[in-house]
C-alpha cells in the first residue's frame, strides 16, 4: 500500500490494516525461526508498512486533538 492510499482511510480502517500487518509480521518471524522464510526482504517491507500506518494514525490523532 502506498501512503496516498492509506491517507484516504479512516482511523478504524488503519487499525485493521495495522492488525493485519502485525499478523503477517508474526507469520514471517515464525517462518524465519524455522528456516522456511524464502524472501527475507519481506520482513523489511512489512516493518516499513507498519511504521507508515502508525505514522498516519499519529498524524490523524494529532489533527483531531488540535
Split into its structural domains, the chain has a count of 1
User: Quick check: is 7 in a domain?
Assistant: yes
Report the distance separating Cα 33 and Cα 35, nearest Å: 6
* Residues 18-34: tens digit of each pLDDT: 999 999 999 999 999 99
User: Quick check: is 65 in a domain?
Assistant: no
Say whether pLDDT at 40 is over 90.
yes
CATH of the domain at 30: 1.10.287.310
Task: Look up residue 2 and give its three cell numbers.
Answer: 502506498
Q: What is the 3-state secondary structure (H, E, C) of the chain?
A: CCHHHHHCCCHHHHHHHHHHHHHHHHHHHHHHHHCCCCCCHHHHHHHHHHHHHHHHHHHHHHHHHC
User: Quick check: is 66 in a domain?
Assistant: no
State which residues form the domain around 54: 3-60
Q: Does the predicted model carry a pTM greater than 0.75?
A: yes
User: Quick check: is 54 in a domain?
Assistant: yes
User: Quick check: is 9 in a domain?
Assistant: yes
User: Quick check: is 48 in a domain?
Assistant: yes
Amino acid at each position: 500500500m502506498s501512503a496516498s492510499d492509506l491517507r484516504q482511510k479512516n482511523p478504524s480502517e488503519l487499525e485493521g490494516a495495522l492488525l493485519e500487518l502485525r499478523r503477517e509480521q508474526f507469520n514471517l518471524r515464525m517462518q524465519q525461526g524455522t528456516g522456511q522464510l524464502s524472501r527475507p526482504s519481506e520482513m523489511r517491507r512489512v516493518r516499513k508498512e507498519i511504521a507508515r500506518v502508525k505514522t498516519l494514525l499519529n498524524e490523524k490523532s494529532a489533527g483531531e486533538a488540535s
